Every structure is written in C-alpha cells, then in structure tokens.
Structure 1
Amino acid sequence: MDLLRSLPLGLYLEQPLTWLHKLDPRVKLMWLLSFLTSYVVANNYWRVLLVAILIIITLFAKIPLRVWRQQMGWLLLLSLMVLILGSISPDALRINYQPRLPANQQVLTQPINAKNNQVIPHSPISKKEYSYVLFQQGPVRVTRRSLDLAISLSTIVFTLIYSTNLYLLTTAPEEITSGIESLMQPLRRFKIPVTEITLTLTLSLRFIPLVLEEVQNLVRSVMTRAINWKKLGFKGGVQVWLIVTERLLENLLLRAEQMANAMIVRGFTSPNEHQVQWQDLRLRVSDWLAIAILMVFWGLRIAFGAEVS
C-alpha cells in the first residue's frame, strides 16, 4: 500500500482527532460549499483572504506537519508558478499604453476663465501617478490586467484543491455519505432514491483504495519481471500493457462481485429492509458556533468581497 501512503491529496487522517474531525459533516460541507461559491464574482482581496483563512484553519486545527507539509507545500508552489506565469503572460487586450496625462501640464494645473479666456494662475494640484504597465524589462511585461488575472487564477487553484482536500482529510467517507443523505432528505418527496444514491457513493469511496491497490500490484509484477522493452518494440510493449489492463479489469470485477456477495449475505436486499446508521448526526455547541461564524463569513463576503464592475 505504498502508493496509497504516497498520495498527497484526498486521504482521511484517522489520528490525531482534531476539532475539525469532531464537527458535524453537514456543517463542514456547508463551509466547503461556501469556500467554493464565495469565490465567484469576488474581488482579489477576498480571494487572497480565502487562501489565508484555509492556511489559518490548518494551523489552528493542529494537523501534523508531516500531513499538510506536502499537500500545502506543493499547492503553494503550484499557485506561485501560476501567479508568475500569469503575470508575465499577455493580458489579451493588446494595448499600446500611452500616458493618460497630456504633455502640457498647464492644462491641468492652470484653469481657464470662461469669460475672457484668460489663464488663472493656480498652484499645481497633487495627483497620483497611474501606469497601466507595472513592470517592463525587455520582453517581460506585467500589466494591471495580467496581474489581476494571475492572482485570480492562482488563488482559485489553491482554494478549490486545498479546501476540498481539507474536507476529505478531516471527514471519514461514512460521515460524508451520512451528511449528504441527511441534506438530501427533502428530495424524497419527489421520489428520488436518496438511500440508493448515498449507498452507491459509499461503495465508490470504499472501492477507490481497492483500485489503487490492484494497480500497484500489477505495476510491481511488471517491474519484477525485468522486461526488456527495447527488444519488445512498440507493438510488443502495447501488447504487454493490454494484457495488464485486461488483468486489472478482471481483478476489479472480481472485487466488485465479492463485495456484492458480501452485501447479499448480510441482508442488503433493499435499502428499506436493511439500513445502516453510519453516524448519529446531532448538532453540538461547536457546530452551532461554526454556523454562526459562517453567517459572519457570508456577511463580510456580501459587504466587502463583491467585485466592483
């Protein structure tokens, strides 16, 4: 299972149990959706704030350094590369920038009397210098629009990936499905099979490690045979990988059949006859506090985070 341990994203952290683990999965799901939706039509200050909030939550949750160092480190490096590449990339406007102030500064500093067209002496007004091009050195050019797009793109990469990963890191698969099933209960009025959907989601989350384990075993079996790929050529190599793929599908179908037989033996004939309560979902004081903070979060988003058109 070395492949599973080496995966940087999407793994559930069983120990130690942090305060994030103890929150209700429905509350955490609402926070996740808030991170993913509040980013839309927001200014860059709010987008950068989302990144800072995720980092602060990770630090205050006391998640072990060995866990989030690889995850956050790689994502920060990726976001930094996106920021740099986006900043120096063309902004798609193709603007030949010219100073917006006229060459004759007296037009601004000395107003004209409308009656006799005489120039009225006036002290120079203080004005802030504006430049569309923020940095230019040879072919490297950073404009206001390219920097704005770079910040937007780099922050969305970090927010989307890390917020989802933090949710999966602190929420067990059974808790995820239980929370989703609880939130989907109103859909039963429309005769939507909520239990079947959540059961399928649970089996899918549990089946992913089995797929990775089968892939790892087959890759190891190919490596231990020390195949000379140069002698096989392109056609021979393709045939070998087709055999490996066929074997992988056979193993996965066998695992799926074993799982189905195990469910039938245990009486999983229909969701109405055999239901398993994975979690006892009850909102505690910490959950209500998280909901109150979430309301403040959205209040700040509406008041200060809207993008100015």
Structure 2
Amino acid sequence: MDWLPTGGFAADKVFKLISTTTASPIYQFIASPSTFLHSVDPRIKLVWLLALVVLPARSHIIMRVGLVILTSLLSVWILPKHVWMDQLGRVSLLSGVLFIMLGLGSDGIPSPVQLRTPPPAVMGLPNLPVSLGSYSYLLMKLGPLRFTRKGLSVASTAACLTFTIFQSSSLCLATTTPEQLAFAMRWFMVPLTHIGVPVGEIILTLLLSLRFINLVFDEVRNVALGIVSRRINWRQLTVLETIDIFASYIRRIFKNIFSHAEQISQAMIVRGFRGDSRTHKIYALSESSVGMADFVSLFCLVSVIGAAFLSEYFLV
C-alpha cells in the first residue's frame, strides 16, 4: 500500500535544529576565557547550587525574581556570548511556558459550585461590598481562565526554580572540571563511609557520567549533521520512509554510544580495574588554595541567604 507523500513536512528543519542545539557546549567545561568563577572552590559551588535549589522554593516572589536576575547576569558575565545567548534563550522559553501554564491552570478555572444560601437580593438585604480594601484575589481574567494570587505563587515558584536549577548547574559545569566536582562530592560524602555507603563507587560513577555527557551530545550532533549533509529531499518521501529515517537516526545514536561505553570499559579493564573502586586511586583535585574569590563567594552566599530569610518577615 502506497503512503501519501509528506508534502510540507520539513523533517530537515528538525535535524538542523538538533544539530544547532548541540553545537554549543551544553553542560561542558569551558576552559577559556578563565574567569573568577573558575578559581572558586568547587565545594563552595556545590553549596551555592543547594542554596539556589532551596531558596526559590521558600522565599518571597521578589527574592525568586532577584535570584533569576542574578543568575542571568552571572551567565552573561562568565559565559561566552554565543553560549549564554543560546542557553538563556532556551531556559527562558521553557520557564515562560511553564509560568503561563501553571499560572492559568493552578487556580484558573472556577469550580461549578452553587451556594446553598440565597443571594442577598432575594432576602431583601443590600449587597455587601466585595472588599473594603485594595486586596484582590483575582489578578487577571482571560475568558474562562483566571490568573489568581495562588496561580502567581505556584507559577513563579516553578518557573524561577526551573530557571535557577538549569542555569546554575550549567554555570557550575562550565567553570568546573569533572575532577574538581568529584573531589567536592567526595569531600562532603566522606562521613557516609562510616555507615557503609560506597562513596568510592558513587564518585567513580559521577566522574564517568560527567565525562560521558560530552560524548552523548557529540554523537547526537554528528549523526544529525551526517543526515543533513546528505541533502535528502524530504518532500518526495512517504510518511513511512520519514519515520524509518528517524528510527535509523535513533538506532545509530544508541549504537555509537554503546560502542563508546564498550571502549571505555575495555580501557579501564586493561588498566587493571576489576570493579572495586577502593583498590584504585581516583586522581581528582587533591589540594585547593583559598583565595579572594572564595571569600567573595562565601560573603555573597551569606548575603543571599540572609536576604531570603528577611524577605519572609518584611515582604508579606
């Protein structure tokens, strides 16, 4: 049975979008240009990441927006122009869509509940004013949808939290090597060894995962570029043939990734690794000098946490 041609289905735009999306170093270490954030101790960066996860969920809306602005300005200052423009654009789009959906969907549709008591006009009583002050629970109405204070709180929390998590983790990975992150995680998790937690295996898995992220993005980009370079005439293909090309694309990605994983495992076995991370030395950051950047980062961290606590009492 012949399938109808796809006509205007521009599958080549999908592959071009994939190739351009992974062209920027997403979650990869950027060695140059070297900034002050590169010299900050990785343990302080992990504490910052924890604070940027907790504070947007617990602080006032003004504080959440302030953390978003702070993260954006830091990204513009630290990252190269082509990197921060790509990352901030995509993260802002995701956060904006999330804000609109949750803002109009959390408390947007009123429940069809009929009051048991009759209205005041039926009982001969004058209509009472809705509010004696300027407070209004309903902020905006868009047809059947309503944007209320509850929707604003839920939407701002989710959108700001999403933005800070994605962009702060990108900043951390862009200015910190995998070995430094492994050292910082191991420093925090060393006390867990006394209760039987396999810290060495966890750190080794983390180190391999951070190294493997680059390979995954490279394979996704390279395979997409290979398909785009063949200049396939997508308008002459049927729907079944187009789906088959996408399936082949996904199969090729997994095949290349598994091939890289096999090469890494063989390299580790040749070097004497037999599955016990305690018998092997993980060469991570062994020494870290405390500099002015660390003191400035700690001071800013304490200031942000203090401002978040004060906002709970004075910004009501």
TM-score range for the pair, normalised by the shorter chain length = 0.7 to 0.9
Q: Does 1:91 align with 2:138?
A: no
Specify which of 2, 6, 14 is matched with residue 31 of structure 2.
Answer: 14
Distance in 2, Cα, partners of 1:191 & 1:8: 37
Larger radius of gyration: 1
Match of residue 36 from structure 1: 53
How many positions carry a matched residue from both structures?
A: 283
Match of residue 64 from structure 1: 80
Specify which of 265, 273, 277 is matched with residue 260 of structure 1.
Answer: 265
Distance in 1, Cα, partners of 2:282 & 2:69: 39
Q: Relative to structure 1, is the Cα distance of residues 54 and 282 closer, same or farther in structure 2, using a 3 angstrom cutoff?
A: same
Q: For structure 1, list consecutive stretches of 5 or more residues without a partner in the other structure.
A: 106-126
Q: How does 1:142-181 map to 2 (within 5 A)?
A: 142-181=147-186
* Deviation at residue 72 of structure 1 after TM alignment: 1.6
Letter in 2 for 1:172: T
Q: Does 1:301 align with 2:289?
A: no
Aligned-pair RMSD on alpha carbons?
A: 3.8
Q: Could you give the per-residue CA deviations for residues 3-27 of structure 1, whole angstroms, max 9, x where no partner exists?
A: 6752474232221011111111111
* Deviation at residue 219 of structure 1 after TM alignment: 4.0
When structure 1 is superposed on structure 2, of 144-153 and 65-74 the one drifting more is 144-153
Match of residue 49 from structure 1: 66
Scaled by the length of structure 2, what TM-score is found?
0.72
* Deviation at residue 171 of structure 1 after TM alignment: 1.5
Match of residue 277 from structure 1: 283
Distance in 1, Cα, partners of 2:167 & 2:267: 35
Q: Relative to structure 1, is the Cα distance of residues 3 and 280 closer, same or farther in structure 2, using a 3 angstrom cutoff?
A: farther
Q: Does 1:291 align with 2:298?
A: yes
Note if contact 2:29-2:174 (Cα within 8 Å) is conserved in structure 1.
yes
Letter in 2 for 1:19: F
Distance in 2, Cα, partners of 1:173 & 1:128: 56
Distance in 1, Cα, partners of 2:128 & 2:220: 72
Distance in 1, Cα, partners of 2:46 & 2:219: 31
Note if contact 1:42-1:307 (Cα within 8 Å) is conserved in structure 2.
no
Indicate the SS of the match to 2:37. Answer: helix
When structure 1 is superposed on structure 2, of 271-280 and 43-52 the one drifting more is 271-280
Q: Relative to structure 1, is the Cα distance of residues 266 and 163 closer, same or farther in structure 2, using a 3 angstrom cutoff?
A: same
Distance in 2, Cα, partners of 1:52 & 1:221: 39
Query: Which of the pair has the greater relative contact order for Cα pairs under 8 Å at 6+ separation?
Result: 2
Scaled by the length of structure 1, what TM-score is found?
0.73
Percent of paired sites with the same residue: 30
* Deviation at residue 163 of structure 1 after TM alignment: 1.7
Distance in 1, Cα, partners of 2:256 & 2:79: 36
Note if contact 2:60-2:315 (Cα within 8 Å) is conserved in structure 1.
yes
Indicate the SS of the match to 1:180. Answer: helix
Q: For structure 2, list consecutive stretches of 5 or more residues without a partner in the other structure.
A: 1-17, 114-118, 120-125
Distance in 1, Cα, partners of 2:84 & 2:135: 41
